[in-house]
Amino acid sequence: MHMVKKEVLLDINGRNDHIAQHVKEHLEERHIFAVNIVGAPGAGKTISLENLIRALPVKSYVIEGDIESDIDTERLKKQGISAAQINTFGACHLDAPLMHNAVHNMKMDEGGILFIENVGNLVCPAEFSIGEHIKMLIVSVTDGSDKPYKYPLAFEKADMILLNKVDLLPYLDFDEEFFMEGIRHLNKDAPVFKVCGKTGEGYDAAAEWLIKISKK
């Protein structure tokens, strides 16, 4: 029974990875760099997107992934940001087939950065490639300093990490040293940027790093 389940999962992942590679190639043909944004609900993914896009000197596009609603997509469109919506209607993450349909239907010019805001979840989105070049993990100090220990795969797979809501640090029992030790045990390379969605603090440095990595 366990062997059958394993074979089914391998088949699902294999099909997903095949389509993800096609998505990536489609974007690269248009010189578009894709960023898969992972984070728990309330971590500040959308406000971080807004701050990053303001700090970036290149054209940006957004695909919003949610179980229901288009609230965040409409919020971004009102700011003149090119955004499209994917609703999963129950699924806890985006997958490559959903992304394949979205990127082929979304109007994008040559060049720029595509941000894909995955469904709010620290588990499933870390497991599935959707054609991205890098994964950006956004965590909030209000989530607690134990998250690298409880959700290791999300931190292990991250290429960059934003620690959001740092303006609340004086009011919280957040052990930053413990948090960083947990990250570096899993991931020695991903840069960690301390940011504040409310004030915009820290996003310039994150945007600068994104530009550099997108040109490699």
Mean pLDDT of the chain: 93
List the chain domain ranges.
2-214
Coil vs helix vs strand at 146: coil
* Token code pair at residue 59: 């054209």
Give the number of C-alpha atoms closer than 13 A to the C-alpha of residue 98, restricted to the C-beta side.
23
What is the third-level CATH fold of 2-214? Rossmann fold (3.40.50)
Residue 198: exposure state from Cβ atoms within 10 A (0-12, 13-18, ≥19): middle
Q: At how many degrees (to 10) do helices 203-214 and 45-55 cross?
A: 70
pLDDT at position 14, please?
A: 85
**Is the predicted pLDDT of residue 3 greater than 70, yes or no?**
no
pLDDT 10s digits, 45-93: 999 999 999 999 999 999 999 999 999 999 999 999 999 999 998 889 9
Three-state SS for 139?
strand
The partner residues of 161 in beta bridges, in order of sequence, read 137, 192
Name the residue type at position 165: K
Identify the pLDDT of residue 216: 78
Q: What is the pLDDT of residue 47?
A: 98
Please state the rounded mean pLDDT for residues 31-41: 97
Q: Annotate 130-142 with b (16+ C-beta within 10 A) or e (fewer).
A: bbbbbbbbbbbbe
Distance separating alpha carbons of residues 150 and 139, to the nearest angstrom: 13
Least confident of 10-24, 116-130, 201-215: 10-24
163: β partners: 139, 194
* pLDDT computed for residue 6 by the predictor: 46
75 in Cβ contact with 46 (< 8 Å): yes
pLDDT range class, residue 12, cuts 50, 70, 90: low
